[in-house]
Amino acid sequence: MSPRHHSSDVTMVRRAAGNLSAGLQLVLDAHLESCPHCQDRLRLFEATGGALLEQLPPAPLSGASIEKIFVRIDSATVAPSRRRPAAPVRVDGKALPAALSGCAIGPWRYVHPKLRWAKVKLPDAPLERVILLKIAAGFSVPEHGHRGLELTQVLSGAFSDGRALYGPGDLAEADDEVKDHQPRVTAEGECLCLAAVEHPLRINSLLGRLFQPLMGI
Ligand SMILES: [Zn+2]
């Protein structure tokens, strides 16, 4: 089934402009893999950005600027065919989205017997706030608010957060506008999610605040 919940246009424009943090981009890219609708939107926004750039009048570059550009091009050139493809990341025997390839997944830790999490460390951006969450059927995560953007991709299972019901392949987006939400997993089964936040969450419960520094979100 095709995903029913997608990123906002603002987030997709940031992705097209290369303006998302590496962690948020990872989660959005995991969504893009299974969402033809968002693949089309991204192509549209990239094409629109390219067309706008073409309309800008050409500006002369100084010799120093040209030199800097060549240095950047040289340092950025990596022949893709020489890169060793990273093995897919697996959880419980299931392959996770290819966007996670090359990431190191930390050990599973408990916040509560019904809520486990594992840190996702990006090879080039290890400080990004990205985690995998395994939440038992019927359980609610600690109530929290946001500072900046939060993206959550559902890998299996489903949860609802008072705004919508999110199932496999769906992307839930929340920001400062979403006050104190408390996603709850549906009764049908465990939910596995990939989540990233731009800035640390505002967690209201004592239990959540105790674990927040460890979880890094
Ligand atoms: Zn989508």
List the pLDDT tens digit at each of the 217 positions of the chain: 789 999 999 999 999 999 999 999 999 999 999 999 999 999 999 998 777 767 777 766 666 666 665 665 555 444 444 445 677 888 888 899 999 999 999 999 988 899 999 999 999 999 899 999 999 999 998 787 777 899 999 999 999 988 899 999 999 999 877 777 788 999 999 999 999 998 776 676 666 666 666 666 6
Q: How remote is the CA of residue 99 from the centroid of ligand 1, in Å?
A: 15
Q: How remote is the CA of residue 176 from the centroid of ligand 1, in Å?
A: 21
Q: Where are the domains of the chain?
A: 1-83+90-217
pLDDT at 100: 95
pLDDT at 62: 67
d(CA 209, CA 45): 38
How far from 179 is each of 72, 90, 163, 182, 201, CA to CA, in Å? 42, 33, 11, 10, 11
Q: How remote is the CA of residue 201 from the centroid of ligand 1, in Å?
A: 24
CATH for the stretch 1-83+90-217: 2.60.120.10
Length of the chain: 217
Q: How remote is the CA of residue 119 from the centroid of ligand 1, in Å?
A: 24
Give which of 119, 174, 126, 135 is closest to 152, Cα–Cα: 174
Cβ atoms < 10 Å from Cβ of 163: 13
Q: How remote is the CA of residue 72 from the centroid of ligand 1, in Å?
A: 33
pLDDT at 38: 97
pLDDT at 125: 92
For tokens 């094409």, the residue is: 47
pLDDT at 147: 79
pLDDT at 86: 74
pLDDT at 169: 96
**Burial status of residue 102 (CB atoms within 10 A of its CB: 0-12, 13-18, 19 or more):** middle
Cβ atoms < 10 Å from Cβ of 152: 26
Q: How remote is the CA of residue 65 from the centroid of ligand 1, in Å?
A: 38
DSSP 8-state code for residue 15: H
Q: How remote is the CA of residue 112 from the centroid of ligand 1, in Å?
A: 31
